[in-house]
A and B are shown apart, each in its own frame.
Chain A
Amino acid sequence: MSFDADVIIVGGGLSGLSAGITMAREGLNTILLERGEYSGAKNVSGGRMYIHSLLKLVPDALEKAPLEKPITKETYLMFCENNKKISFSFEEKGKRNSYSVLRAKFDRWLANEAENLGLLISYSTNVYNAYREHEGITLETDKGALKAPIVIDASGVTSVVFRSLGLRNFSPDKWMLGVKEVVKGNGLEREEGEAITVVNAIKGAKGGGFIYTNKDTLSVGFTITFDSIPKSEKPAKDLVEEFREKMGIEGEVLEYSAHAIPYYGYKNLPRLYDKNVIAVGDAAGFLINDGFTIRGMDLAIASGMVAGIAVKKLVESRNYENTEIYYKMLEESFILRHLELAYNRFSVINSSLSLYPDVICKVLSDMFTVSEDRRTLISDALIRLKESGITLGKALDDLRKVVL
């Protein structure tokens, strides 16, 4: 049986390119298939990358990569009933831990790095089916069929390879929709970047809003679980506009985009490997949303790098079925550990986060109101929790999960 390459990567986003770069450095015979005309043509993210993984992949990335601004200010804004809102900011000037990015630019640059290292990328190549044949995997594309003994599924949340092999079962409560607009610069006077996380901006929507400042533009977006869209005040097509208007952001809108986000959580991760196939990045469901951070990009890069090393071992041993080694390597990396760490907070956000803003706002409103009948903070909080139907036991349990 002749194969077209030692390994084929499906998807030239961050995870696929990171795997490709790693394997090109290891001298493996690799082909990457990307359906976009260029990498990033189809990719959307909110736009904040934690750069620790990138710096492992490309050590001089800070000098070369098209990063937008270092994020050194965090603002939280929580809406509650009757036009009340809470906000707080935290500033750490000089910090270089995360940057705003725009993926059409960023992924294209990373693809260029990969090609310079000798990775073969076939663009405008749409994979639409995968099946097992002759101890390997055959991929059907609009340009014909390709075969390899091992395939890395880096095709993002829709994970075409695992899906075609019957290894995915999607549901609307395990995916989020992200909608986003890029708005021409205003509010960009601050030299370093800012991230604004907004809770409860749109009633009924299980999700939240974000704003990141780029060099010349703002990224404004909203995420929502698919199962809660029909319960939200606004249909999907109006969410980001509603959010932008609520935040008072004006300026020319340059782009409107949308993309699904995996939202499984550590305990519900889908299948990560099977004989001859490995899933990385969003295709593996590697996404963390713990209320403080949304992270998929650093996990995508890191899992791509791990997959690259795992595949090298498989190729050397000529045992392409032993993909479990990938899982073992993931366990040793930060990836599964961070996903596990975030799970408690993830589960609170998922089940009851929308209950609390109103309680907190009521308590704060009470504290800032002086009248004859005044209560202590604690007794007021207990009364307000009870009014909202949250037992003390539940509140303490949620608090424990959020803090621990």
Chain B
Amino acid sequence: MIPLLKRLGLNTYDVDSTSHIQVDTDKCVQCVGKPCTISCPAGTYEASPDGKIIVHYERCLECGGALVICPYGAIKFRFPNGGVKYKYG
């Protein structure tokens, strides 16, 4: 299996200087399953030991899933101005 970061590295990104994703981590602390860490194809959401979520926004593949994966509505998402650029698609 090719590791995720290596696969993401195949893509061209034009990373914005600020994050296009905001997570209300107060909600995450209460969240048991942390589905965002499982459902994001780019591994954007990582659980930290204190129960909060670290957002690796620069990995985002802009699939749109952020709008449905959090059952508590903790994720605020809009598309980045730069972001990923596919060659094949």
Q: A residues engaging B (CB < 8 A)?
A: 35-37, 40-45, 102-107, 124, 126, 128, 142, 156-158, 170-172, 175, 177-179, 181-182, 217, 219, 226, 229-230, 235-239, 241-242, 245, 253-260
Chain B residues with a Cβ closer than 8 Å to the other chain, count: 36
The CA-CA distance from A182 to B38 in the complex, in Å, is: 23
Task: Describe B's contact surface by its main secondary structure.
Answer: loop
Closest CB in chain A relative to B87 CB, distance in Å: 6
Per the bound structure, the CA–CA distance linking A258 and B39 in Å amounts to 12
Partner of A235, one of B38, B78, B85: B38
The listed residue (B7, B63, B67, B68) touching A253 by CB distance below 8 A is B7
Given A102-B88, A158-B79, list of 14 further CB < 8 A pairs? A40-B89, A41-B84, A45-B89, A104-B87, A181-B7, A229-B35, A229-B69, A235-B39, A236-B65, A245-B1, A255-B10, A255-B88, A257-B89, A259-B61
Given A172-B69, A230-B33, A245-B1, also A258-B86 (CB < 8 A): no
Q: Return 18 A-B CB contacts under 8 Å, by A number.
A: A36-B85, A40-B89, A104-B86, A104-B87, A104-B89, A126-B80, A156-B64, A158-B79, A178-B63, A229-B35, A230-B33, A235-B39, A236-B38, A237-B4, A255-B87, A257-B86, A257-B89, A258-B63
With contacts A35-B79, A253-B7 taken as known, whether A226 is within 8 angstroms of B65 at the C-beta atoms is yes
Q: Which residues of A contact B38 (CB under 8 A)?
A: 229-230, 235-236
**CB <8 Å contact, B69 and A226:** yes
Residues of B within 8 A of A (CB): 1-2, 4, 7-8, 10-11, 14, 33, 35, 37-43, 61-65, 67-69, 78-81, 83-89
Contacts of B35 in A (CB 8 A): 229-230
Residues of the A chain whose Cβ atoms lie less than 8 Å from the Cβ of B43: 237
Judge whether B86 and A42 touch: CB under 8 Å.
yes
- B88–A104 CB distance below 8 A: yes
Min CB gap B36→A, angstroms: 10
A245 to B2, CA, bound (A): 10
The 10 A-B pairs of least Cβ separation, nearest first, read A103-B89, A104-B89, A258-B41, A256-B7, A260-B64, A258-B63, A182-B88, A258-B61, A236-B41, A172-B68
Instruction: List chain A residues, Cβ under 8 A from B14.
Output: 37
